[in-house]
């Protein structure tokens, strides 16, 4: 358990007043730029002054103790928080390739098609495997059977699921194991060919073998996609991410190349969290 | 270990002994178990009672049907049928005259001229009516004979039953005193049978007259009416051609042909007449009531399903928190309106309004408008829809709300808009829940009594479907309505009384079936969501 009382003061002025890293050192081409974001659920402020750049075609990991706001920040990136009453960004902006995603001119449907998401809890639709993967295409108006067939196979292959399900594409997605379901959700997100894929603890319910498969997948995907992954597993962050951001109580404490964060973190809290002295 | 010690001090030491504790627990168990038991016993008793009272019907109905044949009522009805058909043809003639007069009026022909033009037709019509004079006399004579025979047979059966009862209870002396009169059925039936010969001569005469009459039928000025008139002539010829068949039936008819036991059941389940307390013959056919109930329910669901489901979708998916807080209790409040108040509203407002609307020139293009009856299937259906909406709404909303959040979020995250999410994920995922909501709404509608009793028009007849959709603007009676209306007046234990119980049983079976189906669906839906 996290023992909050024993933690040292974190509101040291050096952190709170850190200037917005824009462009951040170490990021060549930023895909997503988060600038001074405050976020609240109703009156309950959850994110404080978060500024962060996410590099293109690389894997960025969000780490931090439970409840620190990782999921919240992730859901800001494809505006999933619009679905929650009273949830809103109260300050700052989020830009994807230079466009403010919260601007009124932005079509949220387009945004979500560009920014795919895999949820913390796997959530296939109560439909067949095929229909699950084809869903995004169908709602986008693709009707040609051959195109859909092709896309379904391609995405299932990229999610390393094709070999396991190719003979039973038309049985319910619920007939799959937990790990297969999670990969099915990944395939479903990939089918619409997003530019960015957000993954919220994609391996939290998986056994080590399935986890290894998903990690392998993430390493392959970054050739084509920009990936943001939330994880509680430090080894995982170390294995498959290029940059790591550490959050604590709604604040970004530190962000840097993964290798640097894990070998020589700049902040004491980061080090404590990573080495497990934290809880 | 310190922590445990701390905890113990929090809990007060037990003051009651183990025994008392056990006794209290036993008491609580007995209380709840007892209540459950009472509920089960009461339900079982109701079911047994329904079946016991209901099944006696078949025996009594069989006696009723046998008496119909033995007293020669059936024989008379063969001739009566011929007479009734004649009347129908006669009515059709006046219909044609009315249509023709209207058509001429439209061409702004003056009234005197209309009457002058149609004078030959009127003559024809009245001559046609007169041809059945002898037939009618015959029917009424035979009716008297058969009624008398039935009466005496019935009285004898009553007395015999009384006597048998006394004998069974051992009061032999009293039983001796009851004299069961002999009824000379053979003679009475023989007299009745002479009707066949009379019928033959009457029908031969009528046929001859009618053929000459038909040959002289006057023409009508309008083509459309002439066409109906020609059709009428064909029908009349067919009618005349059918007369020998009736004679044949009369000759071969015998009062002694046995009536098989299953006729008692089939005449109830498939009988198209529900006639009670008649001086002639009672018929207990459930079809008109069943059809009435079903039509009213179909109309009710036609309105209630879209309303209930759409508002459920609106409230669970689209409405703001503020709207939700307003709409939900408001719809649920409808179910708090007493049904008798709704029925009252139906008579005074809805029925009146529908009739007024049907008379408006806007709806002229609808062939069956204006309607004549204010209280009809449609009026009752509209009000029942109002009663079914809260049921359907509440349960459908439940089903929609129980769709896991993950489905919805996944759909939105893939770039679906709200409509797509509703149509492709939410509704399919909660479909069995929604269907079961509709089924329970149907159960509510079929079982509802007060509104149909007040608003359905209470005419015991199968609607005339030849009008197409116009059939739903005709009055009907329903299964629930008939029980409520007639149960108070029937003699306990009579065939009529038992027939009402049978209707109740049929109703019970239907609602039970609907509920069972709904529950099965809910269980399936829980599994698919699970
Ligand atoms: N829908 C919501 N309404 C109100 N508060 C919320 C909501 N979702 C999350 N929160 C609050 O926001 C804070 C951050 O939650 P968030 O889910 O972002 O944490 P997290 O870092 O993802 O945690 P975990 O690692 O446990 O998933 C928590 O204090 C949580 O209670
Ligand atoms: Mg989370």
Distances (CA, A) of B109 to B104, B113, B117, B125, B513: 6, 7, 10, 22, 61
Among residues B288, B287, B303, the alpha carbon closest in space to that of B475 is found at B288
> Helices B431-447 & B479-486, crossing angle to 10 degrees?
30
Alpha-carbon span B330 to A278, nearest angstrom: 53
β-strand partners of A254? A246
- Residue nearest (by alpha carbon) to ligand 1 atom 26: A66
Alpha-carbon span B267 to B272, nearest angstrom: 8
CB contact under 8 A, B407 and A123: yes
CB A100 within 8 A of CB A146: no
Q: pLDDT tens digit string along A201-243?
A: 988 877 788 788 888 888 888 888 899 999 998 889 998 899 9
Among residues B354, B387, B346, B384, the alpha carbon closest in space to that of B371 is found at B354
Q: What is the chain A residue with the closest CA to B319?
A: A85
CB contact under 8 A, B416 and A109: yes
Task: Kindly give the distance from the C-alpha atom of residue A120 to the centroid of ligand 2, in angstroms, as a whole number.
Answer: 7
Among residues B191, B208, B194, B280, the alpha carbon closest in space to that of B243 is found at B208
CB B439 within 8 A of CB B352: no
Alpha-carbon span A22 to B65, nearest angstrom: 98
Kindly state the DSSP code that residue B314 receives in the 8-state scheme.
I
CB contact under 8 A, B411 and A188: no
pLDDT at A11 over 70: no
State the pLDDT at residue A21.
Answer: 43
CB A226 within 8 A of CB A56: yes
Nearest to A112 among B413, B424, B528 (CB): B413
Label residue A5 by pLDDT band (50, 70, 90): very low
CB B397 within 8 A of CB B317: no
- Mutating which of A87, A125, A142, A148 best tests the B interface, going by the most B Cβ atoms within 10 A? A125
Mean pLDDT score of chain A: 85
**Ligand 1 atom closest to A64 (CA):** 21
DSSP notation for A64-110? -STTSSHHHHHHHHTTGGGGSTTEEEEEEEEEETTEETTSTTS-HHH
Q: Please enumerate in sequence order all residues whose Cβ is within 8 A of that of B52, keeping only pairs 6 or more positions apart, or say none.
A: none
| Residue A23, preceding peptide bond in cis (omega within 30° of 0) | yes
DSSP notation for B239-290? HHHHHHHHHHHHHH--TTSPPPTHHHHHHHHS---EE-S-SS--EE--HHHH
Min CA distance, B11 vs chain A (Å)? 27
CB contact under 8 A, A78 and B321: no
Q: Is B324 on the interface with A (CB under 8 A)?
A: no
Q: pLDDT tens digit string along A151-186?
A: 999 999 888 889 889 898 988 888 888 888 888 999
Q: pLDDT tens digit string along A74-122?
A: 999 999 998 888 899 999 999 999 889 998 888 999 999 999 999 988 8
3-state helix, strand, coil in chain A (%, to 5): 35, 25, 40
Task: Kindly give the distance from the C-alpha atom of residue A121 to the centroid of ligand 1, in angstroms, as a whole number.
Answer: 14
Min CA distance, B225 vs chain A (Å)? 56
State the pLDDT at residue A55.
Answer: 92
Pick the CATH number of B289-477 from 1.20.1300.10, 3.30.70.980, 3.40.50.740, 1.10.3720.10: 1.10.3720.10
- Residue nearest (by alpha carbon) to ligand 1 atom 5: A41
**Ligand 1 atom closest to A250 (CA):** 14
Note if the pTM is more than 0.90: no
B-chain residues near A189 (CB < 8 A): 413-414
State the pLDDT at residue A25.
Answer: 67
Q: Where exactly does CATH 1.10.3720.10 map onto chain B?
A: 289-477
Min CA distance, A26 vs chain B (Å)? 30
State the pLDDT at residue A20.
Answer: 41
More confident residue, A8 or B108: B108
Residues with C-beta less than 6 Å from any ligand 1 atom? A 41, 44, 46, 66-72, 84
State the pLDDT at residue A39.
Answer: 94
State the pLDDT at residue B176.
Answer: 80
Q: What is the mean pLDDT of each run of 10 residues along chain B (530 residues)?
A: 56 77 90 91 90 88 88 88 90 88 84 88 89 87 87 85 85 79 81 84 88 87 87 90 88 85 90 86 92 94 95 91 89 89 90 87 77 88 93 92 90 91 90 89 91 90 83 92 91 89 92 88 63
Label residue A18 by pLDDT band (50, 70, 90): very low
Give the phi and the psi of residue A62 in degrees, each rounded to 5.
-105, 125
Chain A, 205-224: which have a CB under 8 Å from a chain B CB? none
Alpha-carbon span A33 to A98, nearest angstrom: 8
Label residue A23 by pLDDT band (50, 70, 90): low
Min CA distance, B395 vs chain A (Å)? 21
Strand, coil or helix: B294: helix
Q: pLDDT tens digit string along A43-65?
A: 999 999 999 999 999 999 999 99
Helix/strand number for chain B, H first, E second: 22, 2
Nearest ligand to the C-alpha of residue A66?
Answer: 1
**Ligand 1 atom closest to A73 (CA):** 18
CB contact under 8 A, B429 and A126: yes
């Amino acid at each position: 358990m996290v023992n909050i009382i024993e933690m040292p003061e974190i509101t040291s002025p050096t952190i709170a007043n850190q200037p917005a890293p824009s462009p951040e050192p170490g990021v060549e081409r930023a895909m997503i730029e988060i600038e001074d974001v405050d976020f609240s659920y109703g009156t309950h402020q959850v994110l404080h002054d978060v500024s962060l750049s996410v590099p293109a075609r690389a894997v960025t990991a969000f780490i931090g103790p439970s409840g620190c706001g990782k999921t919240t920040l992730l859901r800001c990136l494809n505006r999933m928080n619009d679905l929650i009453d009273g949830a809103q960004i109260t300050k700052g902006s989020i830009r994807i390739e230079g466009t403010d995603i919260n601007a009124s001119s932005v079509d949220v449907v387009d945004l979500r098609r560009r920014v795919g998401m895999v949820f913390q809890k796997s959530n296939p639709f109560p439909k067949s495997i095929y229909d699950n993967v084809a869903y995004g295409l169908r709602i986008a108006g693709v009707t040609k059977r051959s195109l859909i067939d092709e896309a379904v196979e391609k995405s299932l292959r990229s999610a390393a699921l094709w070999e396991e399900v190719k003979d039973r594409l038309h049985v319910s997605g619920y007939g799959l194991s937990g790990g297969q379901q999670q990969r099915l959700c990944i395939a479903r997100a990939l089918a619409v060919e997003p530019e960015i894929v957000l993954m919220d603890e994609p391996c939290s319910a998986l056994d080590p073998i399935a986890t290894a498969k998903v990690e392998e997948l993430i390493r392959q995907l970054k050739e084509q996609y920009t990936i943001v992954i939330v994880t509680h597993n430090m080894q995982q962050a170390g294995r498959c991410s290029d940059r790591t951001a550490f959050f604590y109580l709604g604040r970004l404490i530190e962000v840097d190349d993964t290798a640097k964060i894990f070998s020589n973190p700049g902040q004491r809290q980061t080090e404590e969290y990573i080495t497990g002295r934290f809880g | 270990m310190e922590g445990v010690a701390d905890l113990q001090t929090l809990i007060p030491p037990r003051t009651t002994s183990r025994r008392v504790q056990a006794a209290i627990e036993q008491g609580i168990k007995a209380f709840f178990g007892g209540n459950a038991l009472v509920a089960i016993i009461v339900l079982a008793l109701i079911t047994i009672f329904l079946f016991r009272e209901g099944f006696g019907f078949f025996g009594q109905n069989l006696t009723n049907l046998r008496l119909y044949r033995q007293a020669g009522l059936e024989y008379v009805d063969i001739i009566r049928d011929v007479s009734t058909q004649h009347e129908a043809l006669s009515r059709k003639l006046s219909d044609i005259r009315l249509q023709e007069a209207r058509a001429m009026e439209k061409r702004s022909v003056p009234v005197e001229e209309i009457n002058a033009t149609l004078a030959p037709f009127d003559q024809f019509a009245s001559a046609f009516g007169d041809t059945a004079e002898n037939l009618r006399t015959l029917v009424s004579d035979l009716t008297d004979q058969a009624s008398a025979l039935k009466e005496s047979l019935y009285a004898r059966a009553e007395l015999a039953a009384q006597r048998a009862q006394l004998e069974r209870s051992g009061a032999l002396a009293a039983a001796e005193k009851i004299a069961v009169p002999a009824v000379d059925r053979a003679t009475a039936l023989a007299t009745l049978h002479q009707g066949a010969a009379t019928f033959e001569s009457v029908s031969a005469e009528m046929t001859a007259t009618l053929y000459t009459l038909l040959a002289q039928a006057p023409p009508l000025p309008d083509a459309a009416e002439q066409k109906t008139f020609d059709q009428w002539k064909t029908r009349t010829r067919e009618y005349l051609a059918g007369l020998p068949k009736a004679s044949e039936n009369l000759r071969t008819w015998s009062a002694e042909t046995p009536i098989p036991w299953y006729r008692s059941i089939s005449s109830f389940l498939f009988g198209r007449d529900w006639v009670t307390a008649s001086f002639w013959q009672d018929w207990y056919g459930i079809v008109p009531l069943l059809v009435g109930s079903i039509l009213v329910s179909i109309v009710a669901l036609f309105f209630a399903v879209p309303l209930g489901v759409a508002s459920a979708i609106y409230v669970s998916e689209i409405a703001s928190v503020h709207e939700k807080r307003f709409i939900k209790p408001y719809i649920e409040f409808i179910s708090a309106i007493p049904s008798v108040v709704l029925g009252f509203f139906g008579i005074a407002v809805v029925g009146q309004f529908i009739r007024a609307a049907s008379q408006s020139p806007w709806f002229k293009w609808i062939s069956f408008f204006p309607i004549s009856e204010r209280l009809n299937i449609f009026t009752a259906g509209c009000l029942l829809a109002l009663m079914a909406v809260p049921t359907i709404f509440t349960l459908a909303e439940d089903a929609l709300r129980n769709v896991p959040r993950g489905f919805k979020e996944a759909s939105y995250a893939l770039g679906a808009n709200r409509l797509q999410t509703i149509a492709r994920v939410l509704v399919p995922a909660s479909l069995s829940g929604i269907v079961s909501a509709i089924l329970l709404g149907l159960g509510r509608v079929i079982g509802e009594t007060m509104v149909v009793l007040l608003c359905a028009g209470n005419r015991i007849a199968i609607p005339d479907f030849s009008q197409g959709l116009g059939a739903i603007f005709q009055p009907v009676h329903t299964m629930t309505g008939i029980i409520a209306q007639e149960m108070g007046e029937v003699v306990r234990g009579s065939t009529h009384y038992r027939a009402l119980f049978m209707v109740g049983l049929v109703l019970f079976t239907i609602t039970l079936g609907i509920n069972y189906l709904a529950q099965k669906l809910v269980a399936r839906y829980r599994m698919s969501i699970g």
